[in-house]
Amino acid sequence: MSQPPTSPRLSPLAWTLLAALALVWGTSFLSNRAALPEVGVLSVVTLRVALGAAALWLWILIRRIPLPRDQRLIGRFLLMGLLNNVTPFSLIVWGQKHIDSGLAAILNASTALFGVAIAAALFADERLTRNRAIGTALGFAGVTLAIGPGALSGFDLTSAGQIAVLGASASYGLAAAYARVAIRDLAPEIAAAGMLSGATLWMIPLTLALEGLPAQGWGISTWGALIWLGVGCSALAYLLYYRILAIAGAGNLLLVTLMIPPVAILAGSLVYHERLGLNALGGFALLAAGLVILNRKTAPAKTP
């Protein structure tokens, strides 16, 4: 019996890129918090996706990457932008008005759990194996512990913020399932740029209707946070993501899910003196264990 394919071994370059991606996405939670005192939730998201789209289209132009001619992609980009950017970005940024950056990053790590559960429900070749079932259950137990028993005794804005971030993770899981059938044959840069452009088309009228034109006179730290969210956490992050996927495989790429929360926790502690409770840290430990089990390779059957 032939052995199933395994993920490539991680090279020093792959580890370096993984660390860079974790640093970029981990600091997105800090940037959200830095921008929120002066900028509305929807305005933060609008500027992030618009700047990210512009930076990626500039990259595509410089690299002379051929553009697709299939007009059906416009609708797909709009739906991908809604599922992978508009909905999760808005929920995370709003949630961070009521919970710490580190806790938001821990809860957002449940994206992989939602992705596995949704894929198992939709695709025959993504069934829940024993490892996946155990890992998913353990991961969701960690999410429950991170939220804490206080959420069960009374619903408040903190509880709503936590649920909002979990809703973002579920939206990411739906986006991953849709991307598998909608944009799998596109160049990664085109897929990311199209998706962010679709998100921008959603966000501009929504932001103008609900928040109006952004106020003037933002501080340097606010502008720095917004530019980093767009150029760094969106455009650069997608380029890193697809580069790691190409050289290390999807299984190894899952490691970044475990590396993002420590970055966000450390950044929030250093800049805003955030202190997470034992339930949040214990929840992350359970969640991390679940993700490790989820990604563990099943031993191949021996050939007689």
- Does 129 or 100 have the greater pLDDT score? 100
Reference 48, options 61, 59, 34; nearest CA is 34
- Rounded CA separation 207/182 (Å): 27
pLDDT of residue 153: 61
pLDDT of residue 150: 63
pLDDT higher than threshold 70 for residue 301? no
Q: Is residue 6 part of a domain?
A: no
Q: Is residue 95 part of a domain?
A: yes
Per-residue pLDDT tens over the stretch 56-80: 999 999 999 999 999 999 999 999 9
pLDDT of residue 7: 55
pLDDT of residue 96: 97
- Rounded CA separation 207/212 (Å): 6
Q: What confidence category does residue 277 fall into, taking pLDDT thresholds of 50, 70 and 90? A: confident
- Does 292 or 202 have the greater pLDDT score? 202
- How many domains does the chain fold into? 1
- The domain of 196 spans 12-295
pLDDT of residue 154: 63
pLDDT higher than threshold 70 for residue 35? yes
Q: Is residue 300 part of a domain?
A: no
Q: Is residue 304 part of a domain?
A: no
pLDDT of residue 151: 59
Q: Is residue 275 classed exposed, middle or buried when 0-12, 13-18 and 19+ CB atoms within 10 A define those classes?
A: exposed
Most confidently modeled range among 15-29, 245-259, 276-290: 15-29
Q: Is residue 256 part of a domain?
A: yes
pLDDT of residue 3: 41
What share of the chain in percent tops pLDDT 70? Answer: 92
Per-residue pLDDT tens over the stretch 204-243: 999 999 999 988 789 999 999 999 999 999 999 999 999 9
Half-sphere exposure of 80 (CA within 13 A, CB side): 25
Q: Is residue 94 part of a domain?
A: yes
Q: Is residue 301 part of a domain?
A: no
- Does 52 or 150 have the greater pLDDT score? 52
CA 268 to chain CA centroid, nearest Å = 18
CA distance to 24, 35, 106, 224, per residue, from 28 (Å):
7, 11, 13, 12
Q: Is residue 67 part of a domain?
A: yes
pLDDT higher than threshold 70 for residue 4? no
Percent helix / strand / coil, the chain, rounded to 5: 75, 0, 25
Q: What confidence category does residue 250 fall into, taking pLDDT thresholds of 50, 70 and 90? A: confident
pTM: 0.90
Task: Give the range among 46-50, 181-185, 261-265, 272-276 with minimum mean pLDDT.
Answer: 181-185
